[in-house]
Chains A and B, each alone.
Chain A
Amino acid sequence: MALWTRTANTVYTRSSENLINVTAFSSPSPQVITPRDLLYTFNATKGPTNSSADNSVIFLNTLFDQFIASGDDVSGAQNYLRQLLTFPIVWFQPNGFANPAADVPDPPLPPSLEVTAAFAASQRYNRSNGNKLHLSCRRDVLMVRHQFKTALGPPRRFAGNQRLSVD
């Protein structure tokens, strides 16, 4: 597996908040992630490595069974592993736990995650059939382009054998 960062223009529908189109991709920039970065999160989640089976380990085994039941043995098991490894990358980065009620990013985010966005009208779009998305901006609703902080930053780096702060 390999990790990259890149930018793109994204379009979300406001009713379902679904991501409905992605265009204008930038060139990808490689991101180095170490085994320690991934294992760090799992250590915090699953408890000490020498403990008896706890709830999370039992649940993860149950989860594995669900993946196997959902497809063939190979793809189900492979997807389980891939999705398990994706979890810490997506969630443990600077914007993984945003507070939607905040007026300013909480916790603070770096300037590199600042973006510009505009409200627009979309015509009916079906993501599954690949129809082209049509966007139009009416003068009375376009308003001023708003500054937001969003997007995902590089994965969080962890040092040594420290554990996530657990109460």
Chain B
Amino acid sequence: MFTESYLQLLLLSQVIPIFYEPKWTFPESAVTPTCYTGDLTCVSYLFVGGLDAMTPYPNRDGPQFPNKNDTPGADSLAVFGERGLQIDFWDLIGDSINTSSCQTWATQSAIILCIQPSSIDGNNLIACNQLSSNFI
């Protein structure tokens, strides 16, 4: 259960560092074929869980795991076959946003966000916001 204020705090604290978080973000080459058509600029990131999302937590004090400070031979943790989410972004080309896909929040200082499936490949999404008038 989340309170609205908690979600707001989470959103506002996590949006800025989300591409640069050294604990669970890794820049990677894009894999979406559309990304490589023409001269599009592809940007892609792999997001993994990080130690915080591991259970049991591997840095927990106690006899279960080697102490991270007392055992220099165990200063790292290698995870085999960790599953992650990879998100590819590219500049929009040959597609357009329908205003019916837009949603507006608030009446003053409003935010307008438009998201819809791509007409080129329905598995991809295209989006824009009114503030930026930029498309991805």
Q: Which residues of A are interface residues toward B (Cβ below 8 A)?
A: 1-20, 22, 25-26, 28, 30-35, 38-39, 41-47, 49-61, 63-64, 66, 74, 77-87, 89-91, 93, 95, 98-106, 109, 112-113, 115-122, 127, 135, 138, 140-141, 143, 146, 148-155, 164-167
Tell me what chain B mostly uses at the interface: helix, strand, loop, or mixed.
Answer: mixed
Number of B interface residues in the complex (CB < 8 A): 91
Q: Decide yes or no: A148 and B56 within 8 Å by CB, A44-B7, A113-B83 being known contacts.
A: yes
Q: Are B18 and A98 in contact (CB under 8 A)?
A: no
Q: Are B19 and A150 in contact (CB under 8 A)?
A: no
List B contacts of A32 (CB < 8 A). 123
Q: Are A82 and B89 in contact (CB under 8 A)?
A: yes
**Cβ of B124 under 8 Å from chain A:** yes
Q: Are B131 and A13 in contact (CB under 8 A)?
A: no
Nearest residue, chain A, Cβ from B14? A87
User: In the complex, what distance in Å separates the CA atom of A93 from the CA atom of B84?
Assistant: 11
Q: Decide yes or no: A148 and B8 within 8 Å by CB, A7-B81, A13-B75, A120-B76 being known contacts.
A: no
User: In the complex, what distance in Å separates the CA atom of A9 from the CA atom of B80?
Assistant: 5
Contact of A166 among B2, B121, B125 (CB under 8 A): B2
Q: Are B58 and A148 in contact (CB under 8 A)?
A: yes
Residue-wise interface mask of B (3-32) relative to A, using a CB-CB cutoff of 8 A (1 in contact, 0 not): 110011011101110110011111010011
**Cβ of B37 under 8 Å from chain A:** no
Q: Are A81 and B86 in contact (CB under 8 A)?
A: no
CB distance from B7 to the nearest CB of A (A): 4
Q: Are A149 and B54 in contact (CB under 8 A)?
A: yes
Nearest residue, chain A, Cβ from B53? A98
Q: Are A151 and B48 in contact (CB under 8 A)?
A: yes
User: In the complex, what distance in Å separates the CA atom of A13 from the CA atom of B79?
Assistant: 11
